[in-house]
Amino acid sequence: MPRPPRADEAGAIYHALNRGNSRQTIFRKEADYEAFERILVEGLQSYPVDLFAYQWMPNHWHMVLRPREDGAMSRLLYWVAMTHAARHHAHYHTAGSGHLYQGRFKSFPVQDDDHFFVVCRYVERNALAAGLVLRAENWRWGSLWNWNRGGSLVALAPWPMPRQPNWTERVNRPLGEKEEGQLRKAIARSQPFGDSGWVEATASRLGLESTLRKRGRPRKFPQMDR
């Protein structure tokens, strides 16, 4: 199956994620998370990308980003993944044992309205949803912890709009069933996430129409006698 097209337009907001190959663990201990953060900080100093929210999980990571130049997000995340994989293999002496990541990162555009808040809540409550913490802000390797406590190496960019009131409590509440269903579909298909009209217009403008169609083999029809 061909790879779906990817948007990477300056000024747009994106959710990006990547997973360990075969869902293998990529962060085994605190030092692994810290090493990844140093790599990301190094990358953000070299590539013009704003980071709004993130969460590093044992076998995957999420980021909410806005490139300031066309193509900057792809360049940043390619460099981060390659550098992380090389340093990870060097540390664990696993060079030649296979890929660290399942492949290139996945991403989709996000509408800069309440849909942005939905995506950030989803990202920042990932560890809570997985049962790793009792409160979302207690996960050390996420932007909610960073925003509440500070002191992280990772600098968060100012959000495109003010956080909603009682943000930490909002993150700790589950997403609505409809919101989460739409978001999971966007993640699975790399399709734009927003109002239906915005999704269709954005997909058309960026050449992402294929992400709106269900994937699978073409339906077979019986041959008709000629």
Structural domain contains residue 26: yes
Domain that holds residue 54: 13-190
Per-residue pLDDT of the chain (226 residues; tens, 9 = 90+): 455 567 899 999 999 999 998 788 999 999 999 999 999 999 999 999 999 999 999 999 999 999 999 999 999 999 999 999 999 889 988 877 778 998 889 999 999 999 999 999 999 999 999 999 999 999 999 999 999 998 889 999 999 999 999 999 999 999 999 999 999 999 999 999 999 999 999 999 988 988 887 755 544 434 333 3
* Residue 23 confidence (pLDDT): 80
Q: Is residue 125 part of a domain?
A: yes
DSSP 41: H
Q: Please report the pLDDT score of residue 22 as a whole number.
A: 77
pLDDT at 224: 33
Please give the backbone phi and psi of residue 180, each rounded to the nearest 5 degrees, phi first: -65, -35
Q: Does residue 44 belong to any structural domain of this protein?
A: yes
**In-domain check, residue 81:** yes
Burial call 114-134: b when 16+ CB within 10 Å, e when fewer: ebbbbbbbbbbbbbbeeeebe
Does residue 6 lie in a domain region? no
Task: Say if 164 falls within a structural domain.
Answer: yes
Query: What is the domain-level CATH number for residue 17?
Result: 3.30.70.1290
Is the distance from CB of 55 to CB of 61 less than 8 angstroms? yes
Q: What is the pLDDT at residue 215? A: 59
| pLDDT score of 66 | 98
Q: How many domains does the chain have?
A: 1
Please report whether residue 103 resides in a domain. Answer: yes
Q: What is the pLDDT of residue 52?
A: 98
Q: Tell me, what's the pLDDT at 213? A: 78
Q: What is the crossing angle of helices 30-46 and 72-92, to 10°?
A: 150
Residue 217, in any domain of the structure: no
Helices (H), 67-113: 72-92
